[in-house]
């Protein structure tokens, strides 16, 4: 699994060049494009095998036969890391099932480049690839992005970017922090970081090039007050819940720490009292 540049040719790794130079065959999405990459790298092309999203399933058997016979085959996509919104995952899964060793030669990926330059939290993130174009699948994905407490990464075509930003405003609200990363590693590289509504305005005239949209996490709900937590616990007690279950439920709904909820619960009467420290 050899990552290739997403724009700047200097981003191929030395190991990537070595591997592409020694393998017996290279499986690729587009033989012309990969042929061009190899000629830029000064590598005499071994046999290129076309494996795209439509042929991946059918080609797996042939590739696995060759790999099992000892051939070394590299998989590349048109740009970036194969199997990330590109063909490859099914092939890897078939190789793993067949006991064939799969190795990643890591390198550029638009998702990670956009994430780390966005200025948004990087501790937890999800890569959505391209969102479904329409219908309930799209709405569900948008709502998931809106509600999750992690940073979301979306690939988008330039002519659909503004419409997607508008859809994101409608589910996430206008103030959610986001970034549009465009033409990463290329001459006209640009990362615009702003609340979603400002990004919609900024790209009112459309935009060109390759685009990744990064959306910040859903804001944490405002911390509940002691009184609010107590009311919740009293209601749970009245409903017959045990102290421990009521504490767990209040932690879940208020986002307060278990220690804090437990301390407040000490002042609440529970008929079902399974009192124990958290």
Chain positions 87 to 146 lying near ligand SAM, rule: CB under 6 A, are: 109-111
Is the CB of 186 or the CB of 244 nearer to ligand SAM?
186
Is the CB of 210 or the CB of 232 nearer to ligand SAM?
210
Tokens representing residue 147 in the block: 């509600």
Decide if residue 210 touches ligand SAM (CB under 6 A): yes
Least Cβ distance, residue 211 to ligand SAM (angstroms) = 5
| Given 4, 7, 151, 256, the residue binding ligand SAM (CB under 6 A) | 7
Decide if residue 156 touches ligand SAM (CB under 6 A): yes
Quick one: which of 203, 208, 198 has its CA closest to 177? 198
Candidate segments 133-141, 182-190, 214-222, 257-265, binder of ligand SAM by CB under 6 A? 182-190
Decide if residue 29 touches ligand SAM (CB under 6 A): no
User: What is the DSSP annotation of the chain?
Assistant: -B-B-SS-GGGS-HHHHHHHHH-SEEEES-HHHHHHHHHHTT----EEEE--TTTHHHHHHHHHHHHHTT--EEE--SSBSTTSSSTTHHHHHHHHHTT-----B----HHHHHHHHHTS--SSEEEEEEPPSSHHHHHHHHHHHHH-SSEEEEEE-HHHHHHHHHHHHHHH-TT-EEEEEESTTSTT-EEEEEEHHHHHHHTTT---S-EEEEEPPPPPPPPPPHHHHHHHHHHHHHTT--HHHHHHHHHHHH---HHHHHHHHTTS--SS------
Least Cβ distance, residue 155 to ligand SAM (angstroms) = 3
Decide if residue 77 touches ligand SAM (CB under 6 A): yes
Total binding residues toward ligand SAM, as defined by CB under 6 A: 24
Decide if residue 11 touches ligand SAM (CB under 6 A): no
Decide if residue 247 touches ligand SAM (CB under 6 A): no
Q: Which residue is nearest to ligand SAM (CB)?
A: 80
Decide if residue 161 touches ligand SAM (CB under 6 A): no
Candidate segments 36-44, 184-192, 230-238, 265-273, binder of ligand SAM by CB under 6 A? 184-192
Interface positions with ligand SAM (CB under 6 A): 6-7, 77, 79-81, 84-86, 109-111, 155-157, 181-186, 210-212
């Amino acid at each position: 699994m050899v990552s290739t540049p997403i724009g700047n040719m200097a981003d191929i790794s030395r190991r990537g060049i070595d591997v592409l130079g020694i393998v017996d065959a290279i499986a690729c999405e587009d033989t012309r494009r990969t042929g061009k990459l190899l000629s830029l790298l000064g590598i005499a092309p071994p046999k290129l095998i076309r494996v795209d999203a439509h042929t991946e399933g059918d080609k797996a058997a042939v590739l696995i036969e060759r790999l099992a016979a000892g051939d070394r085959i590299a998989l590349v996509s048109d740009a970036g890391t194969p199997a990330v919104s590109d063909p490859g995952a099914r092939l890897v899964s078939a190789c793993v099932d067949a006991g064939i060793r799969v190795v990643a030669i890591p390198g550029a990926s638009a998702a990670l480049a956009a994430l780390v330059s966005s200025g948004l939290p990087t501790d937890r993130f999800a890569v959505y690839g391209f969102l479904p174009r329409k219908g309930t699948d799209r709405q569900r994905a948008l709502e998931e992005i809106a509600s999750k407490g992690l940073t979301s990464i979306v690939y988008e075509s330039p002519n659909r970017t503004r419409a997607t930003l508008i859809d994101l405003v409608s589910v996430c609200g206008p103030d959610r922090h986001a970034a549009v990363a465009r033409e990463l590693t290329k001459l006209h590289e640009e990362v615009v970081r702003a609340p979603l509504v400002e990004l919609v305005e900024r790209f009112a005239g459309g935009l060109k090039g390759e685009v990744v949209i990064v959306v910040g996490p859903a804001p944490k709900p405002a911390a509940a007050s002691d009184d609010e937590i107590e009311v919740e616990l009293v209601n749970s007690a009245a409903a017959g819940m045990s102290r421990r279950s009521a504490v767990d439920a209040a932690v879940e709904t208020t986002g307060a720490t278990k220690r804090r909820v437990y301390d407040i619960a000490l002042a609440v009467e529970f008929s079902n009292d399974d009192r124990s420290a958290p």
